[in-house]
Chain A
């Protein structure tokens, strides 16, 4: 694999950034500082980071209700992300979107939709736009195992396939659509098997191994930029917490939870880096402190920021 030491460090750092960011969001939620609900990305960091490490700034991503990790991995600012989650005027969407609808069009982050599966045709459209404009960008679409049961999955993937659009369909299979286990709602073992129906390649990777995700995405990006069309990549992963803030996730057997928590993507990468000699333990602590500081700054920025003026609710309906 053509992964430089710097890239590996950056990947570790980005995963850690997402994890610590999400832990901070969880903490702030507990203090009643975050309005509404939250869907934490903790546990799935290797997917967003493994994918986005292959993307350029001008490439696109389409995200979901569980989208904080996608934003951070694509390079969104922590302060504006946190401010949005807190409903502040300085947030990415001026407080109009919140946790489930963060977007940063300046870095190709085309936004998070909270309708499960709705982003799939939108990513296909971004791919169509790329093809019509004749650039070599790609569009990566994140969605869950649950979304692969939506009609939009069938329609959107098929359309991208027939037109050979440069789209990466990234299925984050965390085993549960809210509380419903995959085996109760699909007979195939792997979402990836569905690729056959569209005549496109489907691959399945350990979604808690950032290097595996990286490698699969690298290949898919090459295909896409070459004009060979989309790839469906299924990343097997697991949420560390429940579906949303209110969900204690009691439907998940303890053995299963323990097994997955042991496969923590960040710990595994950390071990890999140390064994590989990329890092010393002390360097890792340094990185952790650096990340923590950036998150503290983001929190401070968000907390110090004003809420929008009530009358702003009436603005931005039309361009």
Chain B
């Protein structure tokens, strides 16, 4: 069968369209997602035309009310998908996300479900500075009650988004600005990818790299380079941070004895810190060398291209990290 090659953006749109066609309770709300702008990253292009402005709803610039209204709709029978134009702006809605959406099911003793998806793009590399470039996925890992999905490929984007939409839990669905135009094979039919199932994006035997979102691509590039130096790298993409597939990560570490964790978020209290802690706690005996983390230094994202380039992890840094622990551990 001929599987079409489409972009990450189109894969997301396909998931939205398929779910909206089959479930009338699914609707979208967000700033400029409708026919006049089609979303800041054009994910929702054409949707207002097909589904109408009631279900593809342009909102005022009111992040807190966008999420709050989505919460209110979710607990009364709808399946809202809220778009926050830039991940950085989730800060404006943090009470609704962390104190309301995340806690309603628990706090009310399981009476209510909150089938809500918050789609938002993270990531730097496009020179738009400190308020439009952050990777804040770790914030949401820290709040029980939220699921956190972060696809790195078009195939995963479609399958994970469909799972998120059908989930009865609030899902923070992290997209990446530099992935929207990435192409990959995406079946036209209905499929879902379960949460909590990592994928080994490349098999290898010497070093495990755990990476997320755009860093999966960088890690795969680094793996190519390292292969030429005779180092066989396995790249594991958790695909969801909550729930986190510890088993696949630990199994890989058991095989390779070496672990590099790569993420674009800040090093302190971040994704790499959490995964490192899990391995330290549950699988340290399998390590032949200390864990190495490649993350963004603890600074805001600067504007000027050489400054931004300096702090966002790249393939060279990943290659260096792998070589360092190989030296120590082999």
Contact = CB atoms under 8 A, between A and B. Distances in A.
A151 B69 CA distance: 14
A319 B65 CA distance: 24
A132 B73 contact: yes
B68 A121 contact: yes
A27 interface: no
B109 interface: yes
A121 B67 contact: yes
B14 interface: no
B59 interface: yes
Given A132-B78, A319-B113, 18 more contacts: A103-B107, A105-B75, A111-B104, A113-B99, A122-B72, A122-B100, A123-B72, A124-B65, A125-B75, A128-B73, A129-B77, A139-B72, A152-B95, A156-B68, A317-B106, A318-B105, A318-B169, A319-B105
A114 B80 CA distance: 24
B55 A132 contact: yes
Given A156-B65, A159-B65, A319-B113, A97 B108 contact: yes
A110 B76 contact: yes
B127 interface: no
A121 B96 contact: yes
A60 B73 CA distance: 12
Contacts of B55: 132
Given A118-B95, A132-B27, A319-B169, A125 B106 contact: no
Nearest to B167: A319
Interface string B98-118: 011000111111111110000
Interface stretch (A88-96, A228-236, A237-245, A265-273): A88-96
A126 interface: yes
A120 interface: yes
Given A60-B76, A126-B73, A91 B109 contact: yes
Given A115-B95, A155-B62, A97 B107 contact: yes
B24 to A, nearest CB: 9
Interface residues of B, number: 41
Interface of A: 60, 62, 91-97, 101, 103-105, 110-111, 113, 115, 118, 120-133, 139, 151-152, 154-156, 158-159, 162, 315-319
Nearest to B29: A128
A227 to B, nearest CB: 13
Contacts of B108: 92-93, 96-97, 101, 103, 105, 111
5 contacts: A95-B109, A113-B99, A120-B68, A158-B65, A319-B168
Given A94-B110, A101-B108, A105-B108, A118 B100 contact: yes
Interface of B: 27, 54-55, 59-60, 62, 64-65, 67-78, 80, 95-96, 99-100, 104-114, 144-145, 147, 168-169
B235 to A, nearest CB: 28
A92 B75 CA distance: 16
A152 B78 contact: no
B111 A103 contact: yes
Nearest to A94: B109
A122 B72 CA distance: 4
Contacts of A156: 65, 68-69
A125 B100 contact: no
A127 to B, nearest CB: 7
A264 B216 CA distance: 66
Top 8 A-B pairs, shortest CB-CB distance: A125-B72, A121-B68, A93-B109, A155-B65, A125-B69, A94-B109, A155-B62, A319-B168
Nearest to A110: B75
Nearest to B78: A129
Contacts of A129: 72-73, 76-78
Contact of A159 (B69, B78, B104, B106): B69
Nearest to B108: A103
